Amino acid sequence: MSMNSVERVQATIALRVPDRVPVDLHDFQPAAFTSGLPMPQVFKDGALLAEAMLSSWREFHQDMILLENGTACNAQACGMEVHYRDDTAPVVGEPLLKSLADVGTLEVPDPYTTFPMCEILKATRILSREIGDQAWLCARADQGPMDLAAELRGMSQFMMDLAEDENEPLVHALLDYARRVATRYAYALIECGGRSTSIGEPMAGPAMISRRHYCRYPWRHEQRMVEELKAQGIILHLHICGNTEKITDDFIATGAQVLEVDHKTDATRLKAAARGKTCLLGNIDTGLLAFGTPGEVDDACRELIAICKPESGFILGPGCALAPNTPTDNIHALVEAAQKYGSYS
């Protein structure tokens, strides 16, 4: 039975068998890069971002669109200085919190009136209206509790905060604040037409903190966010960069309906652990997509589909955000691989 893209993704996330493996493109940077406009202009304007994403979707016709403007949206909405760069996504400037104790002064921003959240909401409304059921729209709630907390405090200082046991109450207070920011934004994105939402947590991975610290700190807040949104029927994706093998069971135990998986994670082991529990999205190497050949991309996709396709619960896509100058032919190869090798019939 043939399905449209929304039906295909919906079935896969629900761990039912679709007609074929769906395909996602984490392509906000190539979309902006190829628009012909300065990337900062696109990332600051919801209408321009929506048009760039629409143009990209018309080129590739992927099943899932992952909408965002980078990893600094929530931080800027909370009051941080953010630098919009000409050749890549925006980055945060100086930390906002000079002391952990200052967390009590922070207010959760209103996404409908606070830049740049309000512009991403505008893009969400436009894409939802224009695309309808032709593609699944995942409107990303930017960074999760751990990552936003680290941005607000400064990465190095936040790592030092985690190392001192006496800081635990204030660290949790900051993580709780960051969770409330992302959750409020997630609600707004769904209200504006997103079919699911997503958070990125690169700072929560084993490359940055131990499993003990992951379970002690970010896991609790990620899990709470998942449960709160799930209670309202909202699907949350969770992305953690790097090799997540050391926290595989914990990653799954957050309850996130979709785990966005980095290419450094062994797909065979993760698929075995996740089978029947959650949906995996990924995890083609973005370096291969940027610098490889279409044939190499096709081979990698074919091998990954063979591993992750059985019993559904798998969406083919890049392991992280595509580089701005990722060749069009390689992106086509990724999308076409799902069509060539992903049939369940």
- Cβ-based neighbours of 250, under 8 Å, separated by 6 or more: 211, 214, 215, 219
| Torsion of Cα atoms, 286 then 345 then 307 then 285, to 10° | 0
- Cβ-based neighbours of 191, under 8 Å, separated by 6 or more: none
| Torsion of Cα atoms, 72 then 77 then 78 then 81, to 10° | 60
Between the CA of residue 108 and those of 98, 117, 169, 181, what are the distances in Å? 18, 12, 19, 5
Residues of the chain with pLDDT under 50: none
Asked if the bond preceding 116 is cis, omega within 30° of 0, the reply is yes
pLDDT at 1 (0 to 100): 76
| DSSP letter assigned to residue 322 | P
Strands 64-67 and 24-25: parallel
Residue among 24, 109, 7 at smallest CA distance from 68: 24
pLDDT, tens digit, 9 for 90 and up, residues 291-311: 999 999 999 999 999 999 999
Strand order in the sheet with 136-139: 24-25, 64-67, 136-139
Strands 64-67 and 314-318: unpaired
b/e per residue 242-261 (b: at least 16 CB within 10 A) = bbbeebbebbbbbbbbbbbb
Structure pTM? 0.97
What one-letter code names the amino acid at 277?
K
Residue among 147, 163, 106, 171 at smallest CA distance from 238: 147
pLDDT at 308 (0 to 100): 98
In the chain, which ranges are E strands? 24-25, 64-67, 82-83, 91-92, 136-139, 197-200, 236-240, 258-261, 279-284, 314-318
b/e per residue 3-32 (b: at least 16 CB within 10 A) = bebbbbbbbbbebeebbbbbbbbbbbbbbb
Strands 91-92 and 258-261: unpaired
| Torsion of Cα atoms, 317 then 34 then 119 then 224, to 10° | 20
The tokens describing 96, both together, are: 């906002």
- Cβ-based neighbours of 231, under 8 Å, separated by 6 or more: none
